[in-house]
Amino acid sequence: MRVHDKLAELGALVEDARAMPMSASCILNRGEVLALLDEIQRALPEDLARAEQLLADRETVIDVGRQEAARLVEQGRQERHRLVSETEVSQEADEEAERIIKTAQTDAVSIREEVDDYVDSKLANFEVVLNKTMQAVIRGRGRLRGARVEDELDSGPEQ
């Protein structure tokens, strides 16, 4: 900063100036002081322009920062909405899965009952057929025994 340096130089000039006896005044070289003041006046517009540019840049940086902040906030809102939607979809999928599982379990119980009834029906029919077969076997054996007894009776006295 040129102005700042020149002001420091002017301050040092005043501090180093010879003091007037019995007074707060001092003796300064008018030429040196005027030359420094002239340099300060010439440097001032340049430093002011630099300061104004910094202020303008500051405003631009602040505006860019605000825009970026607004963009990030909006992006956060969208992400939140997406996550909430995914959560809702996930919950709906879980509920649908539970419903499907319950339906499958109910269907499985129903099918098992139908299978048990079918097997019981077939076993009952098989039991009837076996009973009839058993009765036929018993009758056949009885006839065989009866025929044998007759044969024995017929052949017994002849001997």
Q: Residues 8-31: pLDDT tens digits?
A: 888 898 888 888 888 888 888 889
The torsion of the CA quartet 83, 85, 87, 91, rounded to 10 degrees, works out to: -170
Torsion sign over Cα 120, 121, 122, 124: positive
Number of domains in the chain: 1
132: containing domain: 2-155
Tell the residue number behind the tokens 């709906």, with chain if given: 92
pLDDT in tens, 55-92: 888 888 888 899 999 999 999 999 988 888 888 888 88
Q: How far is CA 108 from CA 1, 82, 94, 111, in A?
A: 88, 38, 21, 5
Give pLDDT, residue 68: 92
Burial class (CB in 10 A: 0-12, 13-18, 19+), 2: middle
Q: How big is the chain, counted in residues? A: 159
Reported as a pLDDT band with limits 50, 70 and 90, residue 6 is confident
DSSP element (H, E) containing 138:
helix 30-155
Reported as a pLDDT band with limits 50, 70 and 90, residue 1 is low
Give pLDDT, residue 59: 84
Reported as a pLDDT band with limits 50, 70 and 90, residue 144 is confident
Please check the confidence at residue 47 and state whether its pLDDT lies above 80. Answer: no
Q: How far is CA 55 from CA 48, 62, 91, in A?
A: 10, 10, 53
Q: Residue range 108-117: average pLDDT?
A: 94
The residue ranking higher by pLDDT, 157 or 64, is 64
Task: Kindly state the percentage of the chain with pLDDT values over 70.
Answer: 96
Give pLDDT, residue 158: 54
Here the tokens at position 74 are 């909006």
